[in-house]
Amino acid sequence: MSDKAARLEAIAEEIRAHVPCGVAICEQATNLVPGEGDPDAEVVFVGEAPGASEDRQGRPFVGAAGKLLDELLAEAGLAREEVFITNVVKARPPRNRDPRADEVAHHWPWLEAQLDVIRPKVVVPLGRHAMARFVEGVTITEAHGRPVHETAKGRTVVPWYHPAAAIYNRRLRDTLAEDARALAALLRRR
Ligand code: URA
């Protein structure tokens, strides 16, 4: 196992063994979901929080939103095995409600640690909750598909709409597909 893979696995182990911590969403989860993928990924996708399928399986984006994410990855010329996929919040909020700010704050250090190990060229936050801490003061409608260069971190952040929002929305799906093709072009230019 490479050094990066071992460091990511150590973070994943810490997440899986996290409870009890006194925070309800962590303690109510069937499984906390650390995320998975290539430790040398150029692109990291950051969702909001696990849903029911992810909570059951302990893996990110394995339900309906994951199926659409897989199609978008293909549109971007990326295989699931070559990217890293995780979430801002690693535990499923009850009834899939939005994660609260205190819950995001509780889980955020894990995402930072994962990004510090992987050092991706591009981070793609999925949806407004994932975007909020990366790109502040804009709506997802304004920010989606627009690269923001974080010079200090040596990476580019490109928010997308959340795939779950596009499952029953053809127009949003077309927008996501356009943003996926733009990501493919961005990766070719780098
Ligand atoms: N939605 C998310 O934001 N993350 C997942 O892992 C699954 C669905």
Which domain range does residue 85 map to? 3-189
Tens of pLDDT, residues 83-129:
999 999 999 999 989 999 999 999 999 999 999 999 999 999 999 99
What's the whole-number mean pLDDT along residues 168-182? 97
Percent of the residues in the chain that have a pLDDT greater than 90, as a whole number: 96
Could you list the beta-strand ranges (E) of 48-173: 84-87, 122-125, 148-150, 155-157
pLDDT of residue 160: 98
Cα–Cα distance, 83 to 144 (Å, whole number):
19
The count of structural domains within the chain is 1
Percent of the residues in the chain that have a pLDDT greater than 70, as a whole number: 100
Distance of alpha carbon 89 from the chain centroid: 9
Residue 182, amino acid: A
Could you tell me which residues come within 8 angstroms of residue 63 by beta carbon, excluding any fewer than 6 positions away?
51, 52, 53, 54
CATH number of the domain within which 179 lies: 3.40.470.10
pLDDT of residue 63: 96
Tens of pLDDT, residues 23-48:
999 999 999 999 999 999 999 999 99
Are the beta carbons of 123 and 115 closer than 8 angstroms?
yes
Confidence class for position 190, pLDDT limits 50, 70, 90: confident
pLDDT of residue 14: 98
CA of 154 to the centre of ligand 1 (A): 26
Tens of pLDDT, residues 121-153:
999 999 999 999 899 999 999 999 999 999 999
Atom of ligand 1 nearest to the CA of 85: 6
Protein residues with CB under 6 Å of any ligand 1 atom:
47-51, 54, 60-61, 65, 87, 164
Could you tell me which residues come within 8 angstroms of residue 4 by beta carbon, excluding any fewer than 6 positions away?
39, 40, 117, 118
Are the beta carbons of 88 and 104 closer than 8 angstroms?
yes
CA of 8 to the centre of ligand 1 (A): 19
